[in-house]
Amino acid sequence: MRLSEYAKYDATGLASLVRTREVTALELTQLARQVHDEINPLINAVIEFYEDAETVAGADAGSFNGVPFLRKDTGATEAGRLQEHGSRLFKGCRSDTDSYFFRRAREAGLRTVGRTTIPELASTVMTESIVNGITGNPWDLKRSAGGSSGGAAAAVAAGITPIAHGSDGGGSIRIPASWCGLVGLNPSRGRVSGGPHNQDASSGLSREFVLCRTVRDMAAALDVFSGPHPGDPFIIVQPSLRYLEELTQPTGTLRVGVARTSWGAIDLDPEVLHAVEATATLLEGMGHTIIDIDPLYEPAEYSKFDSAPTTAIWLEEAARTLGRTISSDTLEPVNLKRYRYGRDLPLSQTWDVQEGLRRMRSRVGEAIHGFDILLTPTMPIVAVPHGGIYSAVNPEVSVKEYLEADTAICQYTGIFNVTGQPSVSLPLAQSSSGLPIGVQIVGRFGDEATLVRVARDLEDARPWHHRCPKVRAEGS
């Protein structure tokens, strides 16, 4: 198999080739390494391609038999592997625990061959850090791949692996999926276990999943990673069918709420609005009922939900354990300011945040209860140039400016981390300059099945597989 052929297959397709013995799992790992060696110097998406990648464990069966996989440098862990959270404070740290996520990955045949870049502490929408540098967008290297799962997205878009681990606490899967032209699902709260040590990450705001190129890979990954484990805070309703089986089921007629207006301080780019309107027209032509919806919350209210107090406690405990000091030598400018800000807040602030989240969940839930799905932009604008106000490396940005900027650019994503609903970014459009535009579909809580069927319908009606970024595996 040539590199260019390898890069054209999705994970399901590669697994099928292994199953029929047209290629071996070892050959796929070798191809992934070749693409990495060719492409990663350009995009800087992979921190570490494991030296022992050709011998990593993985089942000889399952949906993803033999497919190379990458791990984000935060969140779910692999025992014995480095996990540095993109930070000098955690340099050299290794996990002593296999998360349930990676146990399931191995059981499904995924071979984890390395780890990907993130912004320090997964804190911003741009994947750039002092310790690992800037991750470029394969569609335009001068622009951001997004964050915080930006390394994962850039690696998949460029063809290093067809699927990669990500996590999403405010848009961190969907943002890079939108800017890199990928499928990025943030599952319902509780759909994918964070165990054994992180079952309720960020008070339930953050979830683990993957970035991929096709809806069938998304469905197959749901089948692999879904399901409860002992110690989970609650058990979400389980699906009646496997998600791959949902790809063969009829969608039915849905009530679709459509967001055509800005929900934050950044105006909606006309080309992004056009992508949403074109998708609404497409859904209407499929027989669904389209109803416009107003913004669901006030940006000033959302920007108060900063995790700085709990992050400060985590950082202090980590620093004590590691025998290190929190300073400008170990944390980037914005994160150091957020640490000091969170450290100085009273403990009652944490209660205020939790109560505010509860009120917002209730209010937004009531407002959208009558809809089967929502259709929104994923991001209000296309991928931005590197640096600026969204970068934690920028010494000029204050905590207040950071929170306001983050709320503005994540105006369509973070709210559904609060409500716990599943939401997926689909690469349904491109700008006039050729940059990807993601459109977000939001489902009812616990109803990934409807998202799978709608995403399938949209992929069939408006396929994106022919679009390729400028930087992609082309070797012979």
List the catalytic residue out of 87, 172, 206, 431.
Answer: 172
The span from the CA of 272 to the CA of 277, in Å, is 9
pLDDT the model gives residue 350 = 77
At 94, list the tokens. 């290794």
- Overall domain count for the chain: 1
Q: How far apart are CA 469 and CA 473, in angstroms?
A: 10
What is d(CA 179, CA 413) in angstroms, rounded to the nearest whole number? 13
468 found inside a domain = no
Chain-centre distance for alpha carbon 444: 19
pLDDT value, residue 69 = 98
Q: What are phi and psi of 240, to 5 degrees?
A: -80, -25
**Dist CA 182 CA 150 (whole Å):** 11
Count of helix runs (H) and strand runs (E) in the chain: 17, 15
| Catalytic residue from among 63, 72, 87, 431 | 72
- Which amino acid appears at position 245 of this protein? E
Q: Is residue 129 included in any domain, yes or no?
A: yes
**Which of 419, 420, 439 lies closest to 431 in space, CA to CA?**
439
Looking at 354-465, which runs of residues are DSSP E strands?
A: 373-377, 423-430, 436-443
Residue type, 380: P
Backbone angles phi, psi at 68, to 5 degrees: -65, 145
pLDDT (tens place) for every residue of the chain, 476 residues total: 988 899 999 999 999 999 999 999 999 999 999 999 999 999 999 999 999 999 987 767 789 999 999 999 999 999 999 999 999 999 999 999 999 999 999 999 999 999 999 999 999 999 999 999 999 999 999 999 999 999 999 999 999 999 999 999 999 999 999 999 999 999 999 999 999 988 777 777 899 999 999 999 999 999 999 999 988 888 999 999 999 999 999 999 999 999 999 999 999 999 999 999 999 999 999 999 999 999 999 988 887 777 778 889 999 999 999 999 999 999 999 999 999 999 988 877 778 888 888 999 999 999 999 999 999 999 999 999 999 999 999 999 999 999 999 999 999 999 999 999 999 999 999 999 999 999 999 999 999 999 999 999 999 999 999 999 999 987 64
Residue 469 is assigned to a structural domain of this protein: no
pLDDT of 475: 62
Assigned token pair, 69: 């996989």
Determine if the pTM surpasses 0.75. yes
Is residue 369 a part of any domain in this protein?
A: yes
DSSP 8-state symbol, 440: E
Q: Could you tell me the CATH number of the domain that includes residue 455?
A: 3.90.1300.10
39, part of any domain: yes
Phi-psi region of 446 (alpha: psi -120 to 50; beta: other; left: phi over 0): left
Q: Is residue 475 part of a domain?
A: no
Active-site choice (123, 148, 206, 425): 148
Structure tokens given for 119? 């912004």
User: In whole angstroms, what is the distance from residue 320 CA to residue 326 CA?
Assistant: 10
Q: Which residue range is the domain that position 86 belongs to?
A: 3-461
* Helix residue spans in 44-80 (DSSP H): none
Establish if 103 belongs to a structural domain: yes
> Would residue 153 be called left, alpha or beta, if left means φ above 0 and alpha means ψ between -120 and 50 degrees?
alpha
Residue-averaged pLDDT of the chain = 95
pLDDT in tens, 220-239: 999 999 999 988 888 999 99
Distance of alpha carbon 260 from alpha carbon 273, whole angstroms: 6
Catalytic, 172? Answer yes
Backbone angles phi, psi at 343, to 5 degrees: -60, -35
With respect to residue 51, please indicate whether it lies within any of the assigned structural domains: yes
